[in-house]
Structure 1
Amino acid sequence: MKEIILAKYGEIILKGGNRPKFENILMNNIRNSLKNVAEVKARLAQATIYVEVFDEDKMDIVVERLSKIFGIVSITRAVVCEKDIEDIKAKAKEYLKKDFKDGVKFKVEAKRSDKQFPLNSPQICMEVGGYLDDEYPNIVVDVHNPEVTVKVEVRDFGAYVYADENKVQGQGGMPIGTGSKATLLLSGGIDSPVAGHMISKRGVEIDAVNFFSFPYTSERAKEKVIELASIIAQYTSKINLYIVPFTEIQLQIAEKCPEEHLTLVMRRFMMRIAERLARKHKSLALVTGESVGQVASQTLAALDVTNSAVDMPVLQPLIGMDKIEIVDRAHEIGTFETSILPYEDCCTVFTPKHPTTNPKRANIEKSENRLDVETLIEAALAGVEKIEVYPK
């Protein structure tokens, strides 16, 4: 029996007159994601993408790839039927036999968009449901609490049958490329990769910036960040990762600024450098992984001081989440195990023992005035390394 993949999208439906633009971007993202995986043919009709896979051995990997494309809410493998009720019944019986265990409760739901088909949706349900009930005497019809929901779709160009319970959850959100571009400050920790995933879910393309303090942070720490970017890229396609040499800035801060101000002065440098890179590469906002009150540098007062260093918008998708929620999301997207590898990043190397939690902007700026801010920023920018990171 020939199978096909049905990928459903959701929020795009609400886009009114702009909907074709969003659909075209989603279709391009699907083709780009699958072009090196399998030979496929994809078509779109009535909020569903129909993906034919010419090598049946590649069905699983295609489903897995589709499950990581923003804009798709569910993916289902279905059997292709003739637009004939007898063929639909026979295919349903054979295709779903593994789902019909003894005593299982089921119902049939039908959608008929081809109005030339001789049976309407309720009649399709009656025909298919009655046939399955006769062929499998040990299963039970239960339209209120079914364990298996048999779906029958009769479209203009074909008919399809599948069990709704076998669908795979998609990412949802909006297709990458519909929400402009932003630059993610990517550390080696748990939070920032999750922030990158969450902002990408709104259709935002992302670049990433990492601050590297060799020899205080090792090459393994750098490799860890590249690995994290490659995991995020599974959802976003290629990410341009900019590695910024940060050692001299941190040494100057440690030498000339009060210890309790080290983290905030450092973060203001990071924001300024990230903003310069963002503007150079056409990003419209910065993205960071702060959550209010999680650490001393993430109190509202501290966030005000940090964000005041730049003029462009700062997006903080995790701002109202607690650590458990963030960790759960990191597990879901596959970044957690990499994030907890024991390689320090530059934020943890020069951490003060007693950082200020209620900083005053004027005091932090006074500390910054002890440094040649512009010269340090220009030197760091001159040493930036660009790495094109592709999906893992």
Structure 2
Amino acid sequence: MAQRERLFFLVRYGEIGTKGENRPAFERRLRRNIEGALKGLRIGEVRKEAGGILIEVPPETPAERMQERLRHVFGIQFFAPVRLVPNEVEAMQRVAVEMMLRHREEEPYESFRVTARRVHKQFPLTSQDLNRVVGAAIQQATGVRVDLENPDAVCYLEVRWDGTLIYSRRFPGQGGLPVGISERGVALLSAGIDSPVAAWRMMRRGMEVVFVHFHSYPQTNRASQENALELAKVLTRYQLFSILYFVPLLEIQRHVVANAPPHSWVLLYRRAMLRLADRIAEMEGAPVLITGESVGQVASQTPSNLRAVSEAASRPILRPLISFDKAEIVAQAKEIGTYDISIQPYEDCCSLFVPRHPLTRAEPETLRRLEAELQWEPLLEKALGERERYVIEFQGTKGNMEEGIAVERVQPWGG
């Protein structure tokens, strides 16, 4: 019986391949995340390959939808729609020609080469032989010149025991490490541009991120909470499952304004946020906090102020944007899909009750003394008790992002 031709998506990873004895754990996590990202699509077996993963795809599953889903999975260096054909030269030539003709329709090229690799070492033709015979067929069909050094397009062949994989278009993945392999972190999520990018960058390092949003409702409207929820939904496409907390800060802010010197207000707000986020991190089993701070961007983000504020937390604070300028952060926000939400109008809790001349070089002992004088522990406990907790999950049942995200308010831990 003749071997039938089959359709697959080939996923290759990069950094995971550098891992040692624990590499299987990274590979299992990546496979699990890929299966979660493809939820709702008709696919066949998802199996581990040397240096990657192979996903069988029925003909009725749109390639464009597969590409959109895989584009959100961290840990992937590139992915490609591939065809598995029998180990027969005529079949290889026919499919390679079909793929390169279609490639030229979708993305015109003026030069090409064939790159063959033999996993099946007993196949009678060498890699160079395959490069020549398949390349000659493509050149005859397309009339395009061969360029071995700097081609516009490449036709890849991988000869295996079960057949030959052929592909010509490779789509870049997000790189990094699969989410969930690097523990948890709690991100302080505003409704602005910076913090969603910071959270995304830590997801890219394999971290599962829990979001905490502080608000001043009802002194401000609910726009910041609505925007934060929309941002969390976008970011959930990258990690499939998220927790979002809303924590009220208004009573703490009023207490600070009534009892502390104006130049210290914002730094005291920040210390209160870190103390509250620190306690949520304890509940969620997260050893680190994450913020979107960048040196010098605003008055509270000078090196001295970062030092004075940071000691309020009992765990390390990761600041992945610390050396970024605003243009770099904006560019990344546009790339990951959060920018349009972040620029929507909202009232930020940190812009409420802001002094004209804030401290730029605070001393930790000064803020510690002011905190002691405030005696704000009952207010911190009250804010924590009034927190709201939402579970956000990628459903994957429809192609539209918002339709595929489920949000549910749940009882907080300890609440």
TM-score range, shorter chain: over 0.9
Please give the alpha-carbon distance, in whole angstroms, between the structure 2 residues aligned to 1:113 and 1:70.
Answer: 27
Contact 1:216–1:346 under 8 Å retained in 2: no
Once the two structures are TM-superposed, the CA of residue 2 in structure 1 deviates from its matched residue by 4.5
Partner of residue 40 from structure 1, selected from 34, 44, 60: 44
Give the aligned partner of residue 203 of structure 1: 206
Give the aligned partner of residue 374 of structure 2: 371
Once the two structures are TM-superposed, the CA of residue 247 in structure 1 deviates from its matched residue by 1.1
Q: Does 1:71 align with 2:75?
A: yes
Contact 1:12–1:19 under 8 Å retained in 2: yes
Q: Does 1:98 align with 2:102?
A: yes
Give the aligned partner of residue 89 of structure 1: 93
Give the aligned partner of residue 172 of structure 1: 175
Q: Does 1:110 align with 2:113?
A: no
Give the aligned partner of residue 215 of structure 2: 212
Amino acid across the alignment from 1:109: T
Once the two structures are TM-superposed, the CA of residue 160 in structure 1 deviates from its matched residue by 1.8
Gaps of 5+ in 2: 395-401, 403-415
Give the aligned partner of residue 158 of structure 1: 163
- From the superposition, tell whether residues 216 and 157 of structure 1 become closer, same or farther in structure 2 (CA, over 3 Å): farther
Please give the alpha-carbon distance, in whole angstroms, between the structure 1 residues aligned to 2:134 and 2:37.
Answer: 36
Give the aligned partner of residue 247 of structure 1: 250
Q: Does 1:325 align with 2:331?
A: no
Amino acid across the alignment from 2:33: N
Q: Does 1:309 align with 2:312?
A: yes
Give the aligned partner of residue 240 of structure 2: 237
Q: Deviations over 1:37-56 (max 9, x none)?
A: 33332112111211112253
Gaps of 5+ in 1: none
Please give the alpha-carbon distance, in whole angstroms, between the structure 2 residues aligned to 1:374 and 1:103.
Answer: 66
Amino acid across the alignment from 1:211: F
Once the two structures are TM-superposed, the CA of residue 252 in structure 1 deviates from its matched residue by 0.8
Please give the alpha-carbon distance, in whole angstroms, between the structure 1 residues aligned to 2:109 and 2:370.
Answer: 73
Contact 1:226–1:389 under 8 Å retained in 2: no
Give the aligned partner of residue 140 of structure 1: 145
SS of the residue corresponding to residue 267 of structure 2 reads helix
Matched residue pairs, number? 389
Please give the alpha-carbon distance, in whole angstroms, between the structure 2 residues aligned to 1:350 and 1:49.
Answer: 53
Contact 1:79–1:95 under 8 Å retained in 2: no
Give the aligned partner of residue 18 of structure 2: 14
Give the aligned partner of residue 28 of structure 1: 32
Please give the alpha-carbon distance, in whole angstroms, between the structure 2 residues aligned to 1:191 and 1:263.
Answer: 18
Once the two structures are TM-superposed, the CA of residue 108 in structure 1 deviates from its matched residue by 0.7
Comparing 277-286 and 362-371, the one that deviates more: 362-371
Contact 1:5–1:63 under 8 Å retained in 2: no
Contact 1:100–1:139 under 8 Å retained in 2: no
Contact 1:292–1:320 under 8 Å retained in 2: yes
Q: What percentage of residue pairs aligned between the two structures are identical?
A: 38
Partner of residue 58 from structure 1, selected from 62, 75, 83: 62
Partner of residue 347 from structure 1, selected from 326, 345, 350: 350
TM-score using structure 2 length: 0.90
Amino acid across the alignment from 2:36: N
Amino acid across the alignment from 2:91: D
Give the aligned partner of residue 359 of structure 1: 362
Query: Aligned-residue CA RMSD in angstroms?
Result: 1.6
Give the aligned partner of residue 277 of structure 2: 274
Amino acid across the alignment from 1:255: A
SS of the residue corresponding to residue 22 of structure 2 reads helix
Q: Deviations over 1:214-253 (max 9, x none)?
A: 1123222211100000111111111101111111111111
Comparing 139-148 and 278-287, the one that deviates more: 139-148
